Structure 1
Amino acid sequence: MGSPGTLRGSYAKTAERRREILDAGVEVFSSSGFRNGSIREIAERVGISQAGLLHHFSNKNELLAGVLELRDDISRERMNMTPDGGIDTIRGLVDLVEYNSGVPGLVELYCVLSAEATSPEHPAHHYFINRYSYVVGIATESFELMKSRGELAPDVDPGSAARTLIALMDGLQVQWLLDRDSIDMVEEVRRYVRPLLTIDL
């Protein structure tokens, strides 16, 4: 039996290898989509065999789930996604847009997979349904809290404002990917949000 130090080293190497596979998965699924992206190509990018990759992720669907979880973890680190976040949650969304402008691979992954996942047969179909429900719900509750505090303009509907904000963010990402010099995603989001508020963004 190995020493605790040896075990910790083994776990660390396993975690590092899994992260390398996930990063490669982001690259491949971003450029090729889930349907066309292959386990073989991801394994080659990491420098291991397909069997070696499948030691860490038992199949392609499990790898996709890991890639999406990685993206969500990064998003959660950037913002306060809590129902009582109020303006902090909205500011967090703007900060997330700014962060996304520096990681085109993750943005492309999201855009490609969300388009593919409109098909009910796609393995990420329910993930995106649940994600939109969650994100729009969090934004709605934050706007509702702000409305109760007098921080929203009188004619603003929290639910409509939340859904439009999320739709704007996603639509801007597509335009930005097509021509990154033509649009400032962060400023466009700020321009939408500022008139909704009675406080500074």
Structure 2
Amino acid sequence: MTLAAASGPPGPGTGPSPLSSLFSDRVGQEHADGGSAATSVDPLSRVLRTLDTISAAELEGGPDLRTVVEAPPVGVGDPVSGGRTAEKPAVSSRREAILDAAAALFAERGYHGASLRDISREVGISHPGMLHHFSSKEALLGAVVDRLEAHAQGLLDSVEVLQSSPQSLVAALAGPWDPREHSMALLATLSAEVVNPDHPGRFRIARLRLVHEHVLEQVLAGLAANGRLVEGSDPKFLARTLFSLLLGLTVRERTVRELQKAADGDPIADVQAFVQQLVTG
């Protein structure tokens, strides 16, 4: 299951609408003439438009998330010759190392708590060397969020598999949604930070959370359609509750867990026990 590409109004360049048209931090402000963007009818876009703070905004349909996030980045200092990118392996490797360090520090300290100099020291490069790859911390955050979107796209593509049985969902909760995983820690930290309306990743992170809730809702709705969900359950409510539980357990792993001497309160056991209360058979 992927986001279908949609043809929007003509704009600069050619090709499908960029990912920013769906996950922009300035949605509703992209058109200088004040006109609204073309709306998409795919389920994910409808879900994204339910976010209270942007409910009046019209969202543009975008291409498959993975198609965009895996495309070579433009303008990050890689030499271009004859219209072809001549990226050297060392450049790509250094860029990935920067992203790894940034993601780790953002997860631990938050966006505002980690400076570009902190990240450059973590990687072992100079500050000017850092700026060669990423011109600002906001640009670096955007690239880190691209990775989170790729992770969410993988889950979105797996909805049909996860709907097949309660066991498939339970297995995923110990895999891509594991509260002990770095991607969940990063999302939990950034989700807490974006309550600040001035956070540069506010809307992308909020919408990313809606993507995860949407995936869980579709999975639970599929289980309900097959008679595998407790009768009378609301998949939308359960999806919000389940993902909130996952984020809460993620925070617990990095705080309360350090204070516990006993090995009780395993996050996987906790979330799987919760799901077992929801499913039948």
TM-score clears 0.5: yes
1:135 to 188, 212, 227: 212
- Between the aligned partners of 1:140 and 1:152, the Cα distance in structure 2 is 12
SS of aligned partner of 2:88: helix
Per the alignment, in what secondary structure is the counterpart of residue 34 of structure 1? coil
**Residues 1:128 and 1:74: Cα distance change in structure 2 (over 3 Å):** closer
Structure 2 residue aligned with 1:175, among 244, 252, 256? Answer: 252
Query: Could you say which residue in structure 2 is the equivalent of 1:196?
Result: 278
Residues 111 and 138 of structure 1, relative CA distance in 2, 3 Å threshold: closer
Equivalence for 2:110: 33
Q: SS state of the match for residue 160, structure 2?
A: coil
Contact kept? 1:119, 1:125, Cα under 8 Å: yes
Give the C-alpha shift of residue 41 in structure 1: 1.3
Instruction: Give distance in 1, aligned partners of 2:206 and 2:147.
Output: 18
TM-score, L = length of structure 2: 0.60
Query: What is the TM-score with the length of structure 1 in the denominator?
Result: 0.81
Does residue 169 of structure 2 align to residue 92 of structure 1? no
**Given the alignment, which residue of 202, 215, 232 partners 1:155?**
232
For 1:4, the equivalent position in structure 2 comes to: none
How far, CA to CA, are the matches of 1:150 and 1:110 in structure 2?
A: 32
2:147 corresponds to 1:70: yes
* Gap runs ≥5 in structure 2: 1-84, 258-262
Taking structure 1 as reference, are residues 167 and 24 closer, same or farther at Cα in structure 2, changes over 3 Å only? same
Question: What is the aligned-residue identity percentage?
Answer: 28
* Change in 2 beyond 3 A, CA 1:185/1:56: same
SS at match of 1:27: helix
Map 1:15-30 → 2, pairs under 5 A: 15-30=92-107
- Residues 78-137 of structure 1 show CA distances to partners (whole Å, capped at 9, x for unaligned) of x56444341445642342244x42x4x544433322111111210111012211221111
Task: Note if contact 1:81-1:138 (Cα within 8 Å) is conserved in structure 2.
Answer: no
In the alignment, is the contact (CA less than 8 A) between 1:143 and 1:152 conserved in 2?
Answer: yes
Q: CA RMSD in A?
A: 2.4
Runs of 5+ consecutive residues of structure 1 not aligned to the other structure: 1-6
* 1:154 CA displacement: 1.1
Aligned residue number for residue 52 of structure 1: 129
In the alignment, is residue 12 of structure 1 matched against residue 12 of structure 2?
Answer: no
Shift of 1:59: 1.2
SS in 2 for 1:37: coil
Distance 1:65 1:90 in 2: 31
Count of residues in correspondence between the two structures: 188
Equivalent residue for 1:3?
A: none
Counterpart contact for 1:140–1:161, Cα < 8 Å: yes
Structure 1 residues 133 and 146: alpha-carbon distance in aligned structure 2, compared to 1, 3 A threshold: same
